[in-house]
Amino acid sequence: MFQGSVKIMPSGDGGVRASAAACRISTSEGTALDAFAKGGDRAKDLKLIGKVLSSGHHTVAEHAYFTVAFNNVSVLTEQLMIEHRLAAYTVKSRRYVDFSGAGYVVPEGLGEEEQAYRAHMDYLFGVYTRLVQMGVPIEDARFVLPYCFRSNFIMSCDARELSCMAHEMAEGRLSVYPEMKYLGGMLSGQLEEVFPGATKAFVKRREEGTAPLSPIRVGEPAAAAQGVELVFAPSDPDALLGTAKAASGRGNVPLRSLVRGDRPRELEMLNYIFRVKGVSLACVTHFTRHRIQSLIVPAPYTALAENTCVLPASVKANPEALSLYTEAFAVNAAAARAYAARPELLGYFALAGCTVDILFGMNARELLHFLRLRTCTRAQWEIRDAANEMLSLLMEEYPALFRYYGPSCAVLGYCPEGRLSCGKPRKTEE
């Protein structure tokens, strides 16, 4: 029944020769290029790689890099995949692309329930289309889309990380989702063809069992209570930053110059932890895209327990759209209750506008990057509101530093967006 696929895109020899060179360089005379020149015989290179991997030296697999295309998979799969930190992702934007004709994944084994499942998903897509026709922006209409709607994205990572992903999907913690298990088997087979032995080398250190998903009770839809809480901040950030600046030999550099500098490594010594409450599943993706952080996100299907949802201003301002929008969440809750005991499928009924609470930690350097992007007027409104609230809390905590944070125009003194600029640059003093 699953029609989605995952495909490792062609990339020469798949990094086999580079990995073999890495195997040789640590125990051989000569340069790195000498080690590379000794390779080229694929069978011998693979034998060497297998020997080194079996001895526990797994880093050699990190020199083989792959780009993988996920085609027509559910956005649930996308959400679960992008939580892997050591990879790069590019997804199709739901802010700018109309998903009316995207279609949706139909899980296997529905039997007599399949007709009702299809009718319900067709209904939700119909609501999405009608909202767009009413003039609701695409980025707001998407909140009624179910997490079975089809996504396409590209991911790149090294062989070591890819093998870990493939195992988690096919046999590990993600295999409790049938679609992930199906795609994981496909990915494992392809990886074994282009980089033999990689999928077996790391099995010993992975989990062998899988914890079942816990059934939930689907709640009645309600408006989400949103907010940001600063959970942790350094007790004496000024002293800590001063120590870092002294260690780097830049003790006399003003904070504003440090913030605007090309390599503000000292800022990495300051760590902050936030809890964002009532953030939509759609917006979680925006947070997850920031790689230099520690992030805890609940499983998407659990969003149906409280079943709180965001209510965009564009919908709230239109009585007809508001009625259609709220009805969609109520109808979806009723349909989802039939799957409450099957959490591996319940995730397909989570709507993009359903909310969860997330917990994440960033250092001050990553916060500088995050806030430059997310307090910009071009940022999606939900994450922009959260980012502005984060900045306000940081300003209260350590104003000497965070007074220089904000959108790129305020931090850098100019807007890097070019023709996409809003035309109203801000200054840090504002």
Q: Which residue's entry shows tokens 């007599």?
A: 112
Contacts of 128 (CB under 8 A, 6+ apart): 99, 100, 141, 142, 144, 145
Identified catalytic residue from 142, 150, 365, 374:
374
CB-hemisphere CA count at 13 Å for 283?
28
User: What one-character-per-residue DSSP string does 52-120 give?
Assistant: HHHTT-GGGGGG-EEEEEEEEEEHHHHHHHTT-SSSEEEE--TTTS--TT--B---TT-GGGHHHHHHH
7 DSSP β-pair partners: 69
Q: Which residue's entry shows tokens 């509101």?
A: 385
Structure tokens at 84: 């892997």
Q: Cα separations (Å) of 317 from 59, 149, 333? A: 55, 27, 24
* C-alpha dihedral (7, 85, 82, 1), degrees to nearest 10: 50
Q: For the chain, how big is the Rg over CA atoms in Å?
A: 24
Alpha-helical (H) ranges within 309-406 are 313-316, 319-336, 343-346, 364-374, 381-397, 399-402
Pairing status of strand 308-309 against strand 222-223? parallel
**DSSP assignment, residue 149?**
B
CB 199 within 8 A of CB 191: yes
Residue 374 a catalytic site member = yes
Q: Which residue's entry shows tokens 């692309």?
A: 97
Q: Which residue's entry shows tokens 């969609």?
A: 328
Q: Which residues are catalytic?
A: 374
